[in-house]
Each structure stands twice: as structure tokens, then as C-alpha cells.
Amino acid sequence: MDKNIAIKLTKLSDIQEVDIHLNDIIKLRGTLPDEVSALQRYIKKMSEKIVENEDLLATLQQDIVNKKEFLKTTEKKVQRYEAQQMEVRNNREYDAITKELELSKLDMQLAEKFLRTAYEKIEKGNIDLEELNKLLKIKENELTLKNQELETILKASKTEEDKLNRKRENIKNTLGEMLYNTYERIRTNVPNSLAVVSIKKGACGGCCIVIPPQQKLVIYERNKIVSCEHCGRMIIASEEATD
Ligand SMILES: [Zn+2]
């Protein structure tokens, strides 16, 4: 038995234990953390949409002011043309003024049409905004409740979690960077998040594939860290094993 390796094997088993506990704590939170972040994303998107709509409405309001101003000036122009029409001296002058008059009247019609549409848009836009704000309020309340719920759960497990994380940090230092990184890589790649398993009835405790006798011997000798040939998990001998 290599004493150094034996220590590392025990530490591997320890960090795995700690991570199982931490996972259990995280599992207790269920889908709540995901629900909270989904709600936050939704609210952010919605708030942006509301600001966007408000900006559009403000632009439209300004367009209305401008168009009304334009209507006023055009109306004055029309009155002026109508007065001039009475004082023309020849047909050519009359035709020219009539043409200007017609154009101005057309401008007025178009402006009035624009105003009608703009008013309709504003009315509809305001109704939409009201709906969006109502929905936003509902979602914000929902988020507050879910956040409170999550905070309660987080608070309840905080002491335990802190203790486990401190323990984890200590083990991590003993393992050394390379071995710790290997552990992390395996842990994040296997479906049950177990990077370290023990022999169970002659098989790998992770994938249940039988371990060759020669490899089993090496595991029990504890002078080498052995990985399962099938699933890649690190295999340790259980303390009392005479497997
Ligand atoms: Zn395996």
C-alpha cells in the first residue's frame, strides 16, 4: 500500500460524500431557482417591451403635435389662396392659384387622415400598455413570493452548506489540483454525478460492469488510483472489504 495514494483515495471518497450532501441540499430547492430566473428573464423582457411601446407612443404624440401645426399653416394657406382667387387678373393666374389650392387641400386631407390613424393607434397602444403593466405587476408579485420562498430554503440550509463547502475546500487542497480537476471532470460528465465509487460484488459501483480480477487486486492494494475501464469513474475499495 502506497500511503500517499491511500490518503488520496480516502480524500476522494470524502469529497464525494460532501458533494452527495451538497447535491441533496440543492435538490431540496427543486425547480424553484430555475423558476425564479425564468421569471426574472420574463420580467426584464416585458419591462423592455413596455419602455419600447411608451417610446413609440411618445413619438406618435409628437407627430400629432407637428401634424396639427402643419394643418394650421396649411389652412391659413388655403384661406390666402381662396382670397387671391377672387382677385386674379387672368386665367393663367387663376389656374396657378387653383392648382396650389388643390394641393394644399390634399395636404390637409392627408394630414387629417394621419391624425385619425394616429389617434386610433394611441388608443390601442394605451390599452395594450395597460394590459402589459397589469401582467407585469402580476409577474412581479409572483417573483417576490418565489424569491421569499427560495430565501427561506437557502437560509435553512446555509449553515450546513457553509460547513460542507469549507470541508470541501480542505479536501480539495489535499487532493492537489490535478487530481481534483480529474474528479470534477468525471463528476460533471457522469449521469449520477458520482466520480468515486466503490466495488460492489466485484463490479464497478457506478456502471455495474464486472471489474477484471487483476484490476481488482490493484484497487485493494491501494497503491494506484484505478479508473473503471467502462465508465471512467475512480474505483475505491470499501474500507472493510474482503470482496
Ligand atoms: Zn464503471
108 shares a domain with 67: yes
How many Å lie between the centroid of ligand 1 and the Cα of residue 199? 9
pTM of the model: 0.69
Q: Is 180 in contact with 195 (CB distance < 8 Å)?
A: no
Q: How far is the CA of 172 from the centre of ligand 1 (A)?
A: 23
68 and 38 in one domain? yes
Sign of the alpha-carbon dihedral angle for 102, 105, 109, 115? positive
Give domain status of residue 122, yes or no. Answer: yes
- At residue 196, what are phi and psi to the nearest 5 degrees? -120, 125
Compute the Cα dihedral for 156, 160, 165, 168 and give only its sign: negative
Assess whether 35 and 17 both reside in one domain: no
Instruction: Using the predicted structure, report yes or no on whether residue 241 has a pLDDT greater than 50.
Output: no
Q: Is the pLDDT at 242 greater than 60, yes or no?
A: no
Find the 6 Cα to ligand 1 centroid distance in Å: 20
Condensed to tens digits (0 to 9), the pLDDT of residues 28-58 reads: 899 999 999 999 999 999 999 999 999 999 9
Where residue 2 falls among pLDDT bands split at 50, 70, 90? confident
Mean pLDDT of 141-153: 96
Instruction: Give the CA distances from residue 15 to residues 4, 27, 57, in Å, rounded to whole numbers and listed in that order.
Output: 16, 18, 59
Q: Are 215 and 233 in contact (CB under 8 A)?
A: no
Summarised one tens digit per residue, pLDDT across range 88-133 is 999 999 999 999 999 999 999 999 999 999 999 999 999 999 999 9
Q: Would you say residue 197 lies in a domain?
A: yes
Q: Do residue 15 and residue 87 come from a single domain?
A: no
> How far, rounded to the nearest angstrom, does the alpha carbon of residue 151 sit from its chain's CA centroid?
19
Q: How far is the CA of 231 from the centre of ligand 1 (A)?
A: 4
Q: Are residues 112 and 188 in the same domain?
A: no
> Considering 135, 156, 174, which residue would you say is the last residue of a domain?
174
Q: Is residue 43 part of a domain?
A: yes
In this predicted structure, what is the pLDDT of residue 238? 75
Q: Is residue 151 domain-shared with residue 194, that is, in the same domain?
A: no
- Burial label, 49 (beta-carbon count in 10 A; 0-12, 13-18, 19+): middle
User: Mean pLDDT over all residues of the chain?
Assistant: 94
| Domain's final residue, options 158, 174, 190 | 174
Q: Comparing C-alpha atoms, which of 227, 239, 225, 230 is closest to residue 207? A: 230
CATH number at residue 82: 1.10.287.1490
CA 211 to ligand 1 centroid distance, Å? 8
pLDDT at 73 over 90: yes
Cα of 240 vs centre of ligand 1, distance in Å, is 20
In contact, 210 and 203? CB cutoff 8 Å = yes
Residue 134, pLDDT above cutoff 80: yes
Q: Which of residues 133, 150, 174 is at a domain's end? A: 174
Same domain, 156 and 206: no
CB-based neighbours (< 5 A) of ligand 1, an ion: 204, 206-207, 228, 230-231
Q: Tell me whether residue 114 is in a domain.
A: yes
Residue 194 and residue 182 in one domain = yes
Q: What are the CA-CA distances from residue 140 to residues 46, 51, 137, 152, 163 (Å)? A: 11, 16, 5, 18, 34
Long-range residue pairs from 213-218, CB within 8 A, at least 24 positions apart, any chain = 216/243
pLDDT digits (tens, 9 = 90+) for 199-240: 998 999 999 999 999 999 999 999 899 999 999 999 998 755
pLDDT at 78 over 50: yes
Q: How many Å lie between the centroid of ligand 1 and the Cα of residue 197?
A: 8
Give residue 1's pLDDT band: very low, low, confident or very high (50, 70, 90): confident
Specify whether 170 is located in the same domain as 182. no
Q: Is residue 112 domain-resident?
A: yes
Residues 101 and 49 in one domain: yes
Total tally of structural domains belonging to the chain = 2
Q: Which domain holds residue 192?
A: 3-21+177-236
Separation CA 234–CA 72 (nearest Å) = 85
